[in-house]
Amino acid sequence: MNSSLVGNQSGRPFCLLAISYLETINFCLLEVVIIVFLMVLIISGNIIVIFVFHCAPLLNHHTTSYFIQTMAYADLLVGVSCLVPSLSLLHYPIVLSESLVCQIFGYVVSVLKSVSMASLACISIDRYIAITKPLTYNTLVTPWRLRICILTIWLYSCLVFLPSFHWGKPGYHGDVFQWCANSWNTDPYFTLFIVVMLYAPAAFIVCFTYFNIFRICQQHTKEINERRVRFSSQDGEAGEAQPCPDKRYAMVLFRITSVFYILWLPYIIYFLLESSNVYSNRVASFLTTWLAISNSFCNCVIYSLSNSVFQKGLKRLSGAICASCARQRVAKDSSASRSKRSSNGCHV
101/108 Cα distance (integer angstroms): 10
| CA separation for the pair 344, 348 (Å, rounded) | 7
Residue 21 has pLDDT above 60, yes or no: no
* Confidence band for 158, pLDDT divided at 50, 70 and 90: very high
Which tens digit of pLDDT belongs to each residue from 22-36? 444 555 677 778 888
Between residues 152 and 97, which one has the greater pLDDT?
152
pLDDT attached to residue 5: 39
> Residue 279, Cβ neighbours under 10 Å: how many?
13
d(CA 304, CA 59): 12
Rg of the chain over CA atoms, in angstroms?
A: 26
Q: Is the pLDDT of residue 174 over 50?
A: yes
Q: What is the mean pLDDT of residues 58-72?
A: 74
200-235 and 245-275 helices, crossing angle to 10°: 160
Share of the chain above pLDDT 90, in %: 5
Alpha carbon 106 to chain centroid distance? 16
Is the pLDDT score of 139 beyond 90?
no
For 48-81, give the DSSP string.
HHHHHHHH-GGGGGSTHHHHHHHHHHHHHHHHHH
Helix (H, G, I), strand (E, B), or coil: what is residue 232? helix
Q: Return mean pLDDT, the chain.
A: 75
- pLDDT digit string (tens) for 276-308? 778 877 778 788 888 888 888 887 777 666 666
For the chain, domains (ranges, CATH) are 29-228+245-321 (1.20.1070.10)
Residue 110 is predicted with a pLDDT of 87
pLDDT-based confidence at 4, cuts 50/70/90? Answer: very low
What does the pLDDT look like over 180-224, one tens digit per residue?
777 777 778 888 888 889 888 988 888 888 888 888 877 877 777
- Given a cut of 80, is residue 164 above it in pLDDT? yes
Q: Decide if 139 contacts 130 (C-beta within 8 A).
A: no
Distances (CA, A) of 111 to 81, 213, 259: 12, 28, 19
236 pLDDT tier (thresholds 50, 70, 90): low
pLDDT, position 10: 44
What mean pLDDT do residues 108-123 have?
87
CA end-to-end span of the chain, whole Å? 81
Residue 167 pLDDT more than 80? yes
Tell me, what DSSP letter sits at residue 95? S
- The band of 113, judged by pLDDT with boundaries at 50, 70 and 90, is confident
Q: Is the pLDDT of residue 67 over 80?
A: yes
Q: Sorting pLDDT into bands at 50, 70 and 90, what band is 59?
A: low
Q: What pLDDT is attached to residue 103?
A: 84
CB proximity list for 226: less than 8 A, separation 6 or greater: none
User: Bigger pLDDT: 255 or 136?
Assistant: 136
Between residues 42 and 15, the one the model is more confident about: 42
- Name the more confident of 89 and 123: 123
Give the closest residue to 171 by CA, choosing from 185, 152, 155, 154: 185
pLDDT at 3: 35
Asked whether residue 341 carries a pLDDT value surpassing 80, the answer given is no
> What pLDDT is stored for residue 340 in this prediction?
56
Residue scoring higher pLDDT (231 or 191)? 191
Grade residue 154 by pLDDT with cuts at 50, 70 and 90: very high
- For residue 157, the tally of other CB atoms under 10 A from its CB is 22
Predicted pLDDT of residue 22: 47
